[in-house]
Amino acid sequence: MLGSTGSVGSNTVSLIALEPERYQVEALTARRNVALLAEQARRLRPRLAVIAEPEGYEDLRQALAGTGIGVAAGAAAVVEAALLPADWVMAAIVGAAGLEPTLAAARRGATVAFANKECLVCAGPLMMDLVRDHGATLLPVDSEHSAIFQVFDFERREAVERLILTASGGPFRTLDRAAMARVTPEQAVAHPVWDMGAKISVDSATMMNKGLEIIEAHYLFAMPEARIDVLVHPQSVVHSLVEYVDGSVLAQLGTPDMRTPIAFALGWPARIRTPAQRLDLLRTGTLSFEAPDPGRFPALRLAREALQSGGAPTILNAANEVAVDAFLNRRIGFLDIERVVEETLEAVPHHRPRVIGDVLETDQAARRHAGTRVAACTGRR
């Protein structure tokens, strides 16, 4: 499990812990949360526990002393963990940091359950080539892409007319721009429906998450960008839809609980039982849908433009990570996030990546420029 201490990783741990005799865990990795990583390791007894930030090594070693669990630290150790002979890999490291270990797992032909949008956003063509060339299997964990995967006719792709991604609309769906300019990090991470990490929650509030999901769906399902639509669905019961050429629209429904798509990927091609609350449509009542407001949420436009231009999704993702981090640390305002992203997209040169080095080089250039734009926004505050 790559990124076991985040929201997706912790939910995966909880599902495995329900039937531990079914699984042998090779490795758990985390960025910096030594205490939770050690607790998970004692619970699941992996062969190896890895902390990405090297300064956490000694604390992790002491926490797991006497358990027989191997301990390692550093970014290279995370990639080495991905190369261990596990049949199934959960790729749940948030951001571009998850790119290299996820690609490493795909390169050895593993079944990769990925909750890391950035792998396809930053390196979509490379990722899909690796999957094809090495016989890997990609299983989406995002609720939207899992929903599409479950109702997509892979045998008859030509019958698919379009994909429809649903979006909750986040906590600021009804706010005007003036009110959005004043929102705080605490308000942005308080998602009205889903329980997610801080970065993903902010992406939901800006609707950048949906922009990233458009790019992801384009690569994962080989669907032209123009045939991928977004609908705001505040109840988060319909997780996404596939429309076919005969007019049929197939949807996957369920309560908003990440354990359901995680379990689908964990058990695939079978299904496994989860403790998720069952959907009661009578109790749910009305399901509503509306078009996203492009004026209030320009992130969707930025993502589509980035995808149309080839290598720009890497820039989009890097600038967004820098901007969201700055917002969470109160260095910039909420609306400055989109400003930093758009200005970085306009300024940083890009081309379609041929190798992973191209992706990493573009990512770093975008981060440097986004950092200068954050500084400029900070100076204006």
Looking at the fold, whether 161 and 284 belong to one and the same domain comes out as: yes
Task: Select the more confidently predicted residue: 354 or 179.
Answer: 179
- Clarify whether residues 45 and 110 are in a common domain: yes
Span of 29-43, 243-257, 308-322 with lowest mean pLDDT: 308-322
Question: 165, 228 in Cβ contact below 8 A?
Answer: yes
CA distance 9 to 29: 9
Give the pLDDT of residue 261: 97
- Note whether 126 and 155 are same-domain residues: no
CA dist 122 and 99 (Å) reads 8
Take residue 8 and report the two structure tokens written for it: 């997706």
CA dist., res. 216 & res. 125, Å (int): 11
What is the per-residue pLDDT for 381?
A: 62
Examine the domain organization and report whether 117 and 170 are in the same domain.
no
* 223 confidence band (pLDDT: 50, 70, 90): very high
Residue 170: what pLDDT?
86
Q: Which of 102, 124, 140 is the last residue of a domain?
A: 140
Q: What is the pLDDT of residue 159?
A: 98
Average of per-residue pLDDT across 346-367 = 91
Radius of gyration of the chain (CA): 20
Last residue of a domain, one of 113, 140, 167: 140
User: Which range among 262-266, 311-315, 368-372 shows the weakest confidence by mean pLDDT?
Assistant: 311-315
Total domain count for the chain?
3
Judgement on whether residues 335 and 375 belong to the same structural domain of the protein: yes
Domain C-terminal end among 111, 140, 169: 140
351: which 2 tokens? Answer: 């081309």
Cβ(369)–Cβ(319) under 8 Å? yes
| Model pLDDT for residues 137-150, shown as the tens digit of each residue | 999 999 999 999 99
- Residue 195's pLDDT band, with cuts at 50, 70 and 90, is low
pLDDT value, residue 286: 95
Count of C-beta atoms within a 10 Å radius of residue 113: 26
Containing domain of residue 163, as a range? Answer: 143-255+277-296
Say if residue 190 is in the same domain as residue 320: no
Hey, which residues does 69 pair with through a beta bridge? none
Q: How many CA atoms lie within 13 A of 290 on its CB side?
A: 10
Q: What does the pLDDT look like over 266-296, one tens digit per residue?
A: 999 999 999 999 999 999 999 999 999 999 9
Strands across the sheet containing 48-51: 27-30, 48-51, 70-73
Confidence (pLDDT) at 353: 84
Residue 118 predicted with pLDDT over 80: no
Domain presence at residue 75: yes
How sure is the predictor about 238, in pLDDT bands with cuts at 50, 70 and 90? very high
- CA 267, CA 96: separation in Å to the nearest integer? 27
Pairing of strands 160-167, 228-232: parallel
- What percent of the chain is predicted at pLDDT more than 70? 98
**Is the pLDDT assigned to residue 136 strictly greater than 80?**
yes
